[in-house]
Amino acid sequence: MSTPDRLIEATRELLWERGYVGTSPKAIQQHAGAGQGSMYHHFAGKPDLALAAIRRTAEEMRETAGRVLDAPGSAYERISGYLLRERDVLRGCPVGRLTMDPEVVASDALRAPVAETITWLRERLATIVREGLDRGEFTPGIAPDDIAASIVATVQGGYVLARAAGSADAFDAGVRGLLTLLAPPAGTARHTDAVVSHHPAS
């Protein structure tokens, strides 16, 4: 891995664990195994490096979510796949946690990739819900944008509940509840029970 990549990866990890204020240039250098000269040769400073790290984290989240949401299957199955995919629940969402970081939220530049990614996720989910409505997979009359917001809120809120309890059970319960509410009308295929039973412990 190149020095810039090591610095970016180190910053990503530290931002996730410690937040912006707790991620000092010295800690980044130590974590990356790079000297001060190398860091400032490739990046103008901590804000520049943090922006590169946040952008990479946001891109990775889009790629991970996109692989599930673009997979074959019904709209319900794809949403289930997104909700039930393996996560490190107790660490929280690397993108979602940035919204609780005062330094990130106060910076238009640092906040932009986070806001763009959450907007992208909501729009992608809303599109899938519309597809499901068109195919009769969901109860008629539901609002795709509202459902998409509820899905994102369930995931992000589930992280908070799980971290507070020190257990992924609260996250799992929220996901099961939402999938029950989204379950296709009677007479269409339902996969809730089978999918939930395979939800990873983390």
Q: Domain limits of the chain?
A: 53-196
CA-nearest of 201, 198, 202, 149 to 178 is 149
pTM of the model: 0.85
Q: How far apart are CA 192 and CA 189, in angstroms?
A: 10
Residue 196 confidence (pLDDT): 39
The answer for 137, left when phi > 0, alpha when psi is -120 to 50, beta otherwise, is: alpha
Angle at alpha carbon of residue 120, lines to 188 and 110, rounded to 5°: 150
Q: How far apart are CA 139 and CA 179, in angstroms?
A: 13
CA-nearest of 155, 173, 149 to 89 is 155
pLDDT tens for the chain, residues 1 to 202: 899 999 999 999 999 989 999 899 999 999 999 988 888 889 998 999 999 999 999 999 999 999 999 999 999 999 999 999 999 999 999 999 899 899 999 999 999 999 999 999 999 999 999 999 999 999 899 999 999 999 999 999 999 999 999 999 999 999 999 999 998 766 554 444 434 333 333 3
Q: How far apart are CA 125 and CA 122, in angstroms?
A: 5
Residue 186 confidence (pLDDT): 66
Residue 184 confidence (pLDDT): 77
Residue 201 confidence (pLDDT): 35
CA-nearest of 138, 141, 151 to 186 is 138
Residue 119 confidence (pLDDT): 97
Contacts 24+ apart (CB under 8 A), 22-31: 23/50
The answer to whether residues 193 and 184 touch, using CB atoms and an 8 Å cutoff, is no
Residue 66 confidence (pLDDT): 95
The encoded tokens of residue 60 equal 């990775």
Q: Which CATH number fits domain 53-196: 3.40.1380.20, 1.10.357.10, 3.40.120.10, 3.40.47.10?
A: 1.10.357.10
